[in-house]
Structure 1
Amino acid sequence: MGGIMNQASSDERLLQIDEGLGALNTTWEQWDQEMAKVQKDLEAGGMDWFDALEEVHRRYVEIIRRGDSPVDFDRLGTLLDELCAIYLEVDAQERAGIRALFENKQRVLKHLHSYTGGRAASRLESTGDVKWLRLGLAAASISDRRVDYRDLLICLGELWLAAERVGIAPARHFSAVARISNPEPRYGDRSTQDLLRGFRRSGHLRSIKRKAKRSSSDPFDR
């Protein structure tokens, strides 16, 4: 009976998380539409397309920096923390169900990479707690290569370097999350499982490490 109740409770919490993410996704899409209108107004005022795009991006970043965004990023981060933790504990069928939650939440789906290379990496480095490494990898697994995987490689590199900086060997954690990731290839290319499993030997990681080493030794970057 307890197991049934626990399962019911878990399903109910997943539904609540899904609803929360859906509401945030809607708010974010509406904000994107508002910012797209700002860009059109700038272009109508004589600014060329590229300059208008850059100006809108600058305003967008500044609004987020000030904490004035209509999107509650603190709540988004908290919901993803919980969802990623659940993802690591459930079976393959339930993990597929969690990945499917993002099919109609494209704006939040795109944020999963930022979660990996941003929130998870920074909290891993500030706390030294390995849970943030695993949560960041779970987010990468959930995104399942549905967004530009080149961005994902950069974010995975940030996560890897953060782990090394706090004395955690990330390879076995990458391998562990690879084992529970989708083994099906995406777009005729490698699967998420393959990408995570092979990341330690990838040219992308070597390149990221070289850039980080050059940056740390360049006095003009300090």
Structure 2
Amino acid sequence: MTERTLFEDRLVKIDRRLARLDARYVEWNWELAEQQKELVDSGMDYWRALSIVQAQREESIKSGNCPVDFDALNALLDELCAIYLEADRRQRTAIRSLFDDKRSALKHLHAYIGRTARLLESSRGRKWLRLGLAAASIADRRVDWRDLLVCLGDLYLAARRVRMRPSSDFQAVAKLSNPVGLGGERSTRDLLADFHKSAYLRSIRRKAKNRRKGRA
């Protein structure tokens, strides 16, 4: 069996697992939407209903009492992102394509980046920086890019807090990313390569510095 065949076989197995997790995620999102609709239909303000359902969602995740196995999903993304970092261009394109029909799993990539930022800071392990960046590259700006900026900012600042210089990692993963922007927008490659000099990063670093001064 060739290396290419081994990769394709492994990707098929990952895709099946990802599809099952995504399907359950979609079902749960539908259930939450129905709960919100029932609250609104009973006369509750839309935003109040949304807030209640979101709080219930977060509590379910925090307690581990939710129908989506997030431990399994995150472990699968750990595996997939590690593969992505070692893959060639064609293989990386195939990995990004896995999420074309898995919208809930695609959106979860942003939450996954947040998880890697927390693990990076607690473990000081550089692998979490790279895995988080791989997830951003896989997401390829297909979910709200403003949310992605927040996730990348959290990841960058987490690295700086443990005295890492993350710019080189951002630029390394940028080279693995899609060079073509979606709908005429800026590409993921450019976003990652230039993140260290972005206005957004300057803004959040300034705010973080001011908070530190305020606590001094």
Matched with 1:43 is 40
Where does the alignment leave 5 or more consecutive residues of structure 2 unmatched?
Answer: none
**Contact 1:35 / 1:56 at 8 angstroms: preserved in 2?**
yes
Q: Quick check: 1:78 aligned with 2:75?
A: yes
Query: What is the alpha-carbon distance in structure 2 between the residues aligned to residue 151 and residue 92 of structure 1?
Result: 26
Q: Quick check: 1:140 aligned with 2:136?
A: yes
Q: CA RMSD in A?
A: 1.3
Query: What is the alpha-carbon distance in structure 1 between the residues aligned to residue 41 and residue 167 of structure 2?
Result: 51
Shift of 1:70: 0.5
Map 1:1-222 → 2, pairs under 5 A = 4=2, 6-116=3-113, 118-219=114-215
**Contact 1:154 / 1:208 at 8 angstroms: preserved in 2?**
no
TM-score of the pair, normalised by structure 1: 0.93
Query: What is the alpha-carbon distance in structure 2 between the residues aligned to residue 96 and residue 79 of structure 1?
Result: 18
Say which SS state the counterpart of residue 46 (structure 1) adopts: coil
1:140-188 alpha-carbon deviations (Å, 9 max, x no partner): 0000000001011111011111111112110111010001100001221
TM-score of the pair, normalised by structure 2: 0.95
- Over the matched positions of the two proteins, sequence identity in percent amounts to 53
**Contact 1:182 / 1:191 at 8 angstroms: preserved in 2?**
yes
Shift of 1:214: 2.9
Following TM superposition, the consecutive aligned residue runs of length 4 or more in structure 1 with deviations greater than 4 angstroms are: none
State which drifts further: 11-20 or 26-35: 11-20
Shift of 1:15: 1.4
1:110-149 alpha-carbon deviations (Å, 9 max, x no partner): 1111111x21111111111111111100000000000001
**One-letter identity of the residue aligned with 1:20:** R
**One-letter identity of the residue aligned with 1:210:** R
Query: What is the alpha-carbon distance in structure 1 between the residues aligned to residue 200 and residue 102 of structure 2?
Result: 28
Query: What is the alpha-carbon distance in structure 1 between the residues aligned to residue 133 and residue 92 of structure 2?
Result: 13
Say which SS state the counterpart of residue 68 (structure 1) adopts: coil
Where does the alignment leave 5 or more consecutive residues of structure 1 unmatched?
Answer: none
Query: What is the alpha-carbon distance in structure 2 between the residues aligned to residue 215 and residue 35 of structure 1?
Result: 36
**One-letter identity of the residue aligned with 1:112:** L
Say which SS state the counterpart of residue 88 (structure 1) adopts: helix
